[in-house]
Structure 1
Amino acid sequence: MTELSKTALRDVTLFPFWLDGNGEVPAIEPQLIGRTDADLLIVGGGFTGLWAAIQAKEADPGLDVVLIEAEKVAYGASGRPGGIVSTSVMHGLHNAVRVFPNDLERLEQLGHANMRGFLDTLQRHKIDCDAEWNGELTVAVSEDHIDVVREEYELHEVHGHDVELLDREATRKQLNSPLFHGALWSKKNSGTVHPAKLAWGLKHAALSLGVRLYEQCPMKRIEDEGSHLRVVTRDGEVHTPKVLLCTNAFAAGHKKIRSRVAMVRDRVLMTEPLSDEQMARIGWASRQGVYDTRTQLNYMRLTKDNRILFGGRLGYFMNSPRDPELDRTPEPYENLADAFFRTFPQLDDLRFSHAWSGPIGLTTRMAVHFQTYFGGKAVYAGGYSGFGVSTSRFGAEFGLAKLFGSDRPELEMEFARTMPNWIPPEPFRHIGAQITMYAMDTADKKGGWRNLWLKGVTKLGFPLV
């Protein structure tokens, strides 16, 4: 860690900025005590669960929907991401080509329809989540990566996206960094949101529709009783014929879910607000969300009050603890701070106000999938691999369709019928993850065996190179 990074992290608050001191935090709903019956139980009060509750009630207002959340809405993964939103429902167009080339055209249509539904819900329910629809940039961090960006541009153009390919000079006019050598600017139906405000807005919408929401209500187990499932919580139980498991990286609901989903931690830094003079040093007048092409991907965006969010340093912990102690210390954020100042050396007078990590449900598909349990009475929808802010609406929609046996033709598509590959259990998962994280951290500088390892992991299904 450089002395600059050490100074910038000195007074950092180790808690998500999105959840810190916001006056709009809603009241906590009571926990469930005793028995209740429901037509549909949704487990998990993050984005997927909230979207599912809203869609289920809007489709059938008479449906009795219960939603349980282990902690508080937005305090799991949904209050921790970068909040960059795009149309893709398969972790980007390039990944969609990789996993479902035969479904690509229809997946593109579904992605645009999903974004229309996303925007419509914000409007109808008057959800203010600091949304800015300024597009997103994919930036090349070296001359060697320009071909990658050009391929992305050609792919997006073929599929009708409003995109612009920027050379080095044009890129730096958009966002001034000595690392940036070119960029793809995708201009429509993408942007940024305040994720916690979005989750709280969805919570209010669900409650207004008549959803029964119980917070601080962790699920303990599910028992199959034939015609229905008995879901036991800490202080109560729900009897229901249908359960939608929206537990994503936490993979709760059935022991087999975790065999295809690995929880990794994504580290995030938030700066203090930039002054007008500091903003002038970097430009960023169009305020796009940004992804770069480093092996250990970084992403960045501005907040409403002109802070820079900078994230993307992954970590893995044995047995996937809910709140790792290490991530409540400055240590995991030191390399990320170094990367920030390499990206923006002209901001050497800037300090970080917050640092935190969030759980990502990683799969070999790198996109949402569906698992069915208890003879079809329960469906798991998750595994967004980090692109879940808007894709969670799509996951909720098709999770509900599978659970209720819809005759939608999309359920016959490969994305809805198949699952990602199996992932080895512990301790092999931990060993493999540690080697992979180290290789990602050092591949761009040192290459060698690291590149060979990452190519091998890519062949197993994780597209790391």
Structure 2
Amino acid sequence: MQTRADKALADTTFFPFWLDRPDAPAPATPLIGSTKADLVVIGGGFTGLWAAIQAKEADPACDVVLIEADRIAHGASGRPGGIVSTSVMHGLGNAQRIFPNDLQTLEALGHDNMAGFSDTIARHGIEADLEWSGEMTVAVSKDGLPAVQEEYDLHRAHGHDVELLDAAGTRAQLNSPLFEGAIWSRKKSGIVHPARLAWGLRRAAIALGVRLHELSPMQSIDDQGQTLLIKTRDGQVRAPRVMLCTNAFASGHKRIRSRVAMVRDRILTTEPLTPVQMAAIGWANRQGVYDTRTQLNYMRLTPDNRILFGGRLGYFANSPRDPALDRTPEPYGKLAEAFFATFPQLEGIRFSHAWSGPIALTTRMAVHFQSYYGGKAIYAGGYSGFGVSASRFGARVGLAKLNGLDLPETQMEFAATEPNWIPPEPFRAIGAQITMTALDGADSKGGWRRPWLSMVGKLGFPLS
């Protein structure tokens, strides 16, 4: 017997909604033959694009080569929810957890970063469907109210324009019978079309003189003393400095994976809502939304009024780039059921697209930096969400470290230290499987699951 999730997923396209557009740019030519550069950026996601743009804007004479294994935005950057905020450390609560002594400075850096983010979009005329609609964290059941209150108090203490909503106030913003309260952060946060943003940054980088090569997977890096030789499938480039912007894919040095694990995040988008369906859910202010479920969900509206609904984590041993299972309905069934529990008034709606994307899970759940080849290469990555805007900050600090600039932030703890070590396979896969099982059943079954998640949190992974 077909479930409502089966019916809703019957005609789904298993490809990111954001990338399914006729105006997607044709790929740049691959790197063929030998060349030299002042700076090579490896990875054409948000971090790589921001790094290339900022390097050229700081020094127009700098010869920058950007290589991407696939096409721009076809990694993590074309797959996220696209909610942007001032946080550069995966949320204010996470910043307090990992760097409490630097919290005020990190807040200031986050606001500066958002100003730079907005300025770049405006200066380069990037059309990315950016809406400054704010963001909400909603309590799913009364059990989530203490977490919402704690977040509200923290945001108020640091000067954010926030409103604490009761059940009625929350449902007036977004009508779900599950929602019992919320914090609404009103300013300097909102939603963006991530693929259009990436393609706009791509165009800006090319206009600034960045030499872009797509379909150019890196095969090796050879330390040649004063320079590094980066070999791709069809060519090679030699440079004295390299930025490794490979995030969850952790390419560039085998040690990167000792601090970074790739976890899959799954997302659904509905077909466009009718005016009647829009009236049934409200959402007039179009905020980006996170909830307090143990297996967290996040949601937003797309420009054509689809609901994007994401957040079920999964793990595949040895971190395949594009697991075949995630191009089938099976992994999305529970996510679909969570959607219908959240919005029962949308019973019968179908999902147009479903996809998964890589998250770089670390014990910090935020950007960090690793130095390789005698400091000639810097890895900047570790985004576990909130990376659409925070990636600009990560690129800026990574470039400063690579160029040996003595900025105050390069001396701060987040930039000068690394996250904790993560066990290798097969222990990584075993621990991940137990954790995913615990996440799935913690709210409904309890038992051993909450103590396990508490232990995982103490190890540095606050997934619940």
Q: TM-score, normalised by structure 2?
A: 0.99
Name the residue aligned to 2:334.
Answer: 335
Cα distance in structure 2, aligned partners of 1:190 and 1:2: 40
Determine if the alignment matches structure 1 residue 129 to structure 2 residue 128: yes
Name the residue aligned to 1:421.
Answer: 420
Name the residue aligned to 1:117.
Answer: 116
Cα distance in structure 1, aligned partners of 2:300 and 2:463: 23
For structure 1, list consecutive stretches of 5 or more residues without a partner in the other structure: none
Q: Equivalences for 1:167-182 in 2 at 5 Å? A: 167-182=166-181
Cα distance in structure 2, aligned partners of 1:305 and 1:368: 32
* Deviation readout 1:254-284 (Å, 9 max, x if unpaired): 0000000000000000000000000000000
Q: How big is the shift at 1:101? A: 0.5
Q: How big is the shift at 1:408? A: 0.5
What is the identity percentage for the equivalent residue pairs of Structure 1 and Structure 2?
72
In 2, are the aligned partners of 1:381 and 1:399 still within 8 Å (CA)? yes
Q: How big is the shift at 1:349? A: 2.5
Q: How big is the shift at 1:2? A: 7.0
Cα distance in structure 2, aligned partners of 1:379 and 1:324: 28
User: Counterpart of 2:444 in 1: which secondary structure?
Assistant: helix
Residue type of the partner of 2:33?
A: G
Determine if the alignment matches structure 1 residue 208 to structure 2 residue 207: yes
Q: Equivalences for 1:373-392 in 2 at 5 Å? A: 373-392=372-391
Determine if the alignment matches structure 1 residue 9 to structure 2 residue 9: yes
Name the residue aligned to 1:31.
Answer: 30
Name the residue aligned to 1:284.
Answer: 283
Determine if the alignment matches structure 1 residue 63 to structure 2 residue 62: yes
Cα distance in structure 2, aligned partners of 1:297 and 1:418: 28
Cα distance in structure 1, aligned partners of 2:76 and 2:387: 10
Q: How big is the shift at 1:27? A: 2.1
In 2, are the aligned partners of 1:81 and 1:358 still within 8 Å (CA)? yes
Cα distance in structure 2, aligned partners of 1:55 and 1:26: 22
Q: How big is the shift at 1:464? A: 2.4
* Deviation readout 1:34-70 (Å, 9 max, x if unpaired): 1100000000000000000000000000000000000
- Aligned length, in residue pairs: 464
Cα distance in structure 1, aligned partners of 2:63 and 2:83: 33
Name the residue aligned to 1:265.
Answer: 264
Cα distance in structure 1, aligned partners of 2:122 and 2:184: 26
Name the residue aligned to 1:355.
Answer: 354
In 2, are the aligned partners of 1:244 and 1:379 still within 8 Å (CA)? yes
Name the residue aligned to 2:244.
Answer: 245
Q: TM-score, normalised by structure 1?
A: 0.99
Q: How big is the shift at 1:5? A: 1.2
> Quick check: 410-419 or 254-263, which moved more?
410-419
Q: How big is the shift at 1:410? A: 1.2
For structure 2, list consecutive stretches of 5 or more residues without a partner in the other structure: none
User: Counterpart of 2:78 in 1: which secondary structure?
Assistant: coil
* Deviation readout 1:364-409 (Å, 9 max, x if unpaired): 0010000000000000000011221111001100000000000101
Q: How big is the shift at 1:24? A: 2.1
In 2, are the aligned partners of 1:2 and 1:338 still within 8 Å (CA)? no
Cα distance in structure 2, aligned partners of 1:47 and 1:130: 16
User: Counterpart of 2:357 in 1: which secondary structure?
Assistant: strand
* Deviation readout 1:132-179 (Å, 9 max, x if unpaired): 111001000011110110010010001000000000000000000010
User: Counterpart of 1:370 in 2: which secondary structure?
Assistant: strand
* Deviation readout 1:314-368 (Å, 9 max, x if unpaired): 0000000000010010000000000000000000031100000001111000100
User: Counterpart of 2:443 in 1: which secondary structure?
Assistant: helix
Cα distance in structure 2, aligned partners of 1:209 and 1:347: 46
Aligned structure 1 segments of 4 or more residues deviating by more than 4 angstroms: none
Residue type of the partner of 2:5?
A: S
Cα distance in structure 2, aligned partners of 1:322 and 1:413: 33
Determine if the alignment matches structure 1 residue 54 to structure 2 residue 53: yes
* Deviation readout 1:171-219 (Å, 9 max, x if unpaired): 0000000100000000001000110000000000000000000000000
Cα root mean square deviation, aligned: 0.8
Name the residue aligned to 1:87.
Answer: 86
Residue type of the partner of 1:380?
A: Y
User: Counterpart of 1:160 in 2: which secondary structure?
Assistant: coil
Name the residue aligned to 2:310.
Answer: 311
* Deviation readout 1:204-254 (Å, 9 max, x if unpaired): 000000000000000001010101111111111111000000000000000
Name the residue aligned to 1:301.
Answer: 300
Q: How big is the shift at 1:448? A: 1.2
